[in-house]
Amino acid sequence: MIPLSSAKRIIIKLGTGILRTDEGLINDLCIEHLCKEIHQLKQKGIEVILVSSGAIGLGMSRLKINKRPTELKQLQACAAIGQSQLINLWQKKLDAYEITVGQILLTREDLDSSKRYTAVTNTIQQILESGAIPIVNENDTVSAEEIKFGDNDTLSAFVAKATESDLLLILSNIPGLMDTKNQNTIIHQVETINKDIESLATDTQKETSVGGMISKLSAAKIATEACCGVFIGSGNDTELFPKILKGESVGTYFKPACKRL
Ligand code: GLU
């Protein structure tokens, strides 16, 4: 059973692939549906932090670029252009529920330095206390290779750890961890992320996505070791949250490796 209703604080990580269609259009229906779910979770008293990808993808759309650039400065320009589109999009859609958003852009250095770490966690805490929701993304414009998280799966796991969240939901086009050695069935529950589990992961081939299951599993390892449960499932399933709340078998749930004191 995925402990969604008992969670006090959750992170929802959304991949570019569910915010933007393959043709480069904004996936309005999916975003509007997620906003409704976020509102309902907040109504239940659950604090929600979003980690939203999509800056590079929306920047590519705005600049009419179909192929993901390979040069860092081109990616950074797309991210700079797309990030403002992204945060405006979230605010516009969440206005329907009178939910305010606060933008947090992070680099790895921000969580490595204790002063900045404290500033980040205090700001997130304050945004939550004000009833708004923090929307986190990597600060791609200033992230050089050596200070990059590189993918938002990893970023979301570090945010889950820093904010002592109870549950991290990684939502993308991937419906869960597939048992590639056993007729491609979804593994619904993972007790421990061991070598056997890691051997099931593959990378992504999509233009705007990074990481695939490899980065999702490594994120799950970081978060579960920080006592946070992790769920990997399809962000396109409009019944996902009701199914989780009803205890139906959906996606993959990774149990936390410890209990927070
Ligand atoms: N920070 C990147 C963006 O907003 C996303 C990286 C990822 O999808 O993992 O486009």
Domains of the chain, residue spans: 9-254
Atom in ligand 1 nearest the alpha carbon of residue 57: 10
Minimum CA distance residue for ligand 1 atom 6: 151
| pLDDT higher than threshold 90 for residue 138 | yes
Q: Residue 52 C-alpha to ligand 1 middle, in angstroms?
A: 8
Predicted confidence band of residue 204 (pLDDT cuts 50, 70, 90): low
Condensed to tens digits (0 to 9), the pLDDT of residues 108-131 reads 999 999 999 999 999 999 999 999
Write a three-state SS string for 2-44: CCCCCCCEEEEEECHHHHECCCCCECHHHHHHHHHHHHHHHHC
Contact 229, 166 (CB under 8 A): yes
State which of 11, 18, 52, 138 you would mutate to test the pocket of ligand 1, scoring each by most atoms of that ligand within 8 A of its C-beta. 138
Q: Is the CB of 57 under 6 A from ligand 1?
A: yes
Are the beta carbons of 137 and 51 closer than 8 angstroms? yes
CB-ligand 1 contact for 218 (6 Å cutoff): no
3-class SS at 163? coil
Closest CA to 220 of 201, 237, 238, 205: 201
Pairing of β 185-186 and β 189-190:
unpaired
Whether the per-residue pLDDT at 17 is higher than 80: the answer is yes
CA-CA distance, 178 to 213, in Å (whole number)?
Answer: 9
Q: With a 6 A CB cut-off, is 76 part of the ligand 1 pocket? A: no
The whole-angstrom separation of Cα 174 and Cα 213 is 8
Would the CA dihedral through 175, 179, 182, 186 be positive or negative?
negative
Q: How far is the CA of 261 from the centre of ligand 1 (A)?
A: 33
Per CATH, domain 9-254 is 3.40.1160.10: yes
Query: What's the gap in Å between 209 CA and the centre of ligand 1?
Result: 7
* pLDDT tens by residue, 55-103: 999 999 999 999 999 999 999 999 999 999 999 999 999 999 999 999 9
Is any ligand 1 atom within 6 A of the Cβ of residue 140?
yes
Instruction: Answer whether 210 contacts ligand 1 (Cβ < 6 A).
Output: yes
Residue pair 245/5 in contact by the 8 Å Cβ criterion: yes
Least confident interval from 46-60, 104-118, 133-147, 214-228: 133-147
Per-residue confidence (pLDDT) for residue 62, from 0 to 100? 95
CB of 56 shorter than 6 A to ligand 1? yes
Asked whether the CA dihedral 235, 238, 244, 248 is positive or negative, the reply is negative
Q: Return the H-helix or E-strand segment holding 242.
A: helix 240-246
Range of weakest confidence among 33-47, 134-148, 160-174: 134-148
Q: Is 137 in the pocket of ligand 1 (CB under 6 A)?
A: yes
Q: Is the CB of 151 under 6 A from ligand 1?
A: yes
Ligand 1 neighbour 17 (Cβ under 6 A): no
The identity of residue 4, as a single letter, is L
**Coil/strand/helix, residue 104:** strand
Provide the percentage of residues in the chain whose pLDDT is more than 70.
96
In this prediction, residues 199-213 reach a mean pLDDT of: 70
Q: Is 204 in the pocket of ligand 1 (CB under 6 A)?
A: no
pTM of the complete model: 0.94
CA distances from 204 to 146, 194, 252 (A): 22, 21, 18
CA 53 to chain centre: 7
